[in-house]
Structure 1
Amino acid sequence: MKKLFLSMALCLTSGLASASGGFSQCPQFFAQSTAPKTPASAELKLRELCYDAFAVMHSGRSRTPLYVAERLSRAQLIDAQDEERTNRFFSDARLPRAERAELDDYKGNEGLDRGHMSPAADQPTAQAMAQSFTLANVVPQSSQNNRKTWASIEKATRKYAMRAAGDVYVITGPVFDGNIRTIGNGRVWVPTYLYKLVYDPSTNRAWAHWIENTDSARPGKPISYGELVKRTGIEFLPGVHPAS
Structure 2
Amino acid sequence: MHKPPFLAAAVAAAICASVSNAVSTAAYAKAPSTDCPHIFGTNSQPRVTVTAATGRTQSLCFRGYAVQTSTATRTALWSAENLTAQAVLAARSVPRDSDFYEEAEIPTPDRARLSDYGRGSSLDRGHLAPSGDFPDLASQAESFSLANVVPQASASNRRMWSHIETSTRRMAREYGQVFVVTGPAFDAAQATRLNGRISIPTYLWKAVYVPGVGAAAYVARNDATPWYAVVSIAELAAFAGVDPFPRLDKVYRDAPMTLLAPTPHPGEKAGRKVNLATLTATAVERSALPEAQEPRHAFRQSSVLPFVGAVLAH
Q: Which residue pairs with 2:195 in the alignment?
A: 184
Match among 2, 17, 20 for residue 7 of structure 2: 2
Answering whether residue 239 of structure 2 is matched by residue 228 of structure 1, we say: no
Q: Secondary structure at the match of 2:119?
A: coil
Answering whether residue 127 of structure 2 is matched by residue 116 of structure 1, we say: yes
Query: What's the CA shift for 1:109?
Result: 4.1
Answering whether residue 230 of structure 2 is matched by residue 199 of structure 1, we say: no
Which whole-Å CA distance do the structure 1 matches of 2:212 and 2:120 have between them? 43
Query: What's the CA shift for 1:219?
Result: 3.5
**Deviation per CA, 1:139-167, whole angstroms, max 9, x where unpaired?**
00000110011000000000011010x42
Which whole-Å CA distance do the structure 1 matches of 2:106 and 2:64 have between them? 19
Which whole-Å CA distance do the structure 2 matches of 1:209 and 1:136 have between them? 22
Match among 59, 69, 73 for residue 84 of structure 2: 73
Answering whether residue 197 of structure 2 is matched by residue 159 of structure 1, we say: no
After TM superposition, the score normalised by the length of structure 2 is 0.69
Which whole-Å CA distance do the structure 2 matches of 1:109 and 1:65 have between them? 23
Match among 198, 213, 217 for residue 222 of structure 2: 213
Q: Which residue pairs with 2:302 in the alignment?
A: none
4+ runs deviating over 6 angstroms: none
Query: What's the CA shift for 1:41?
Result: 4.4
8 Å Cα contact 2:82/2:180 also seen in 1:
yes
Q: Which residue pairs with 2:300 in the alignment?
A: none
**Deviation per CA, 1:72-101, whole angstroms, max 9, x where unpaired?**
010011111111112400001000011100
Judge which range, 102-111 or 130-139, deviates more.
102-111
Answering whether residue 137 of structure 2 is matched by residue 126 of structure 1, we say: yes
Which whole-Å CA distance do the structure 2 matches of 1:232 and 1:221 have between them? 13
Amino acid corresponding to residue 223 of structure 1 in structure 2: V
Give % identity: 34
Q: Which residue pairs with 2:258 in the alignment?
A: none
Answering whether residue 156 of structure 2 is matched by residue 148 of structure 1, we say: no
Aligned pairs, number: 231
Identify unmatched segments of 5+ residues in structure 2: 1-5, 16-25, 256-314
**Deviation per CA, 1:187-208, whole angstroms, max 9, x where unpaired?**
11100110000000131x1111
Query: What's the CA shift for 1:42?
Result: 4.7
Judged with a 3 Å threshold, the aligned counterparts in structure 2 of structure 1 residues 109 and 150 are, in CA distance, closer, same or farther, namely farther
Which whole-Å CA distance do the structure 2 matches of 1:82 and 1:202 have between them? 30
8 Å Cα contact 1:153/1:219 also seen in 2:
no
Judged with a 3 Å threshold, the aligned counterparts in structure 2 of structure 1 residues 25 and 238 are, in CA distance, closer, same or farther, namely closer
**Deviation per CA, 1:99-156, whole angstroms, max 9, x where unpaired?**
1000000113443100000001001111011111000000000001100110000000
Judge which range, 166-175 or 151-160, deviates more.
166-175
Query: What's the CA shift for 1:12?
Result: 3.9
Match among 232, 238, 243 for residue 246 of structure 2: 238
Which whole-Å CA distance do the structure 2 matches of 1:197 and 1:43 have between them? 26
Judged with a 3 Å threshold, the aligned counterparts in structure 2 of structure 1 residues 184 and 61 are, in CA distance, closer, same or farther, namely same
Judged with a 3 Å threshold, the aligned counterparts in structure 2 of structure 1 residues 53 and 66 are, in CA distance, closer, same or farther, namely same
8 Å Cα contact 1:44/1:62 also seen in 2:
no
Which whole-Å CA distance do the structure 2 matches of 1:30 and 1:219 have between them? 29
Q: Which residue pairs with 2:75 in the alignment?
A: 64
After TM superposition, the score normalised by the length of structure 1 is 0.88
Q: Which residue pairs with 1:88 in the alignment?
A: 99
Q: Secondary structure at the match of 1:15?
A: coil
- 1:45-64 residue pairs with structure 2 within 5 A? 45-64=56-75
Larger Rg: 2
